[in-house]
Amino acid sequence: MSKHGTFDVGKYFTLLVVVFSLVTGVFIFIHAFVFLKVKGAYSEEAVWSAIAGMVLFFWSAHQTVIMFREVLSKIATPIKAQQPVQQMETKQ
């Protein structure tokens, strides 16, 4: 990863946080179903937890793709087009 250019710790830390929030969104969504099975639990709270988990998951998945493209992409320098070689005219 570092051979593509300078190593930016801030970008990698942001990527780590976004991946952590992706996993957290999955756990919140799963916990909402467990919360529904408990007697005396409020179904409205479980529904809002499930919605929050889905929103966090989809936002984090989108940000993860963006961050991986940004962190792992190699910066390419443009190559100048070569000038056409002119043939030397010989005088006869």
The whole-number pLDDT of residue 43 equals 82
Rounded to the nearest integer, the mean pLDDT of the chain is 81
Rounded to the nearest 10 degrees, how much is the dihedral formed by the CA atoms of 41, 44, 45, 47?
Answer: 110
Range of the domain at 35: 23-71
Q: Is residue 66 part of a domain?
A: yes
| Residue at 86 is within a domain | no
41 belongs to a structural domain: yes
Using the predicted structure, report yes or no on whether residue 80 has a pLDDT greater than 60.
yes
Residue 86: predicted pLDDT: 57
Q: Where is 51: in which H helix or E strand?
A: helix 43-72
If one counts the domains in the chain, the total is 1
Q: Tell me, yes or no, if the pTM score tops 0.75.
A: no
- 73 vs 22, more confident: 22
Most confident of the ranges 21-25, 42-46, 79-83: 21-25
How close are the terminal C-alpha atoms of the chain, in Å?
Answer: 60
Residue 43 within a domain: yes
Both tokens of 30, joined, read: 């799963």
42 located within any domain: yes
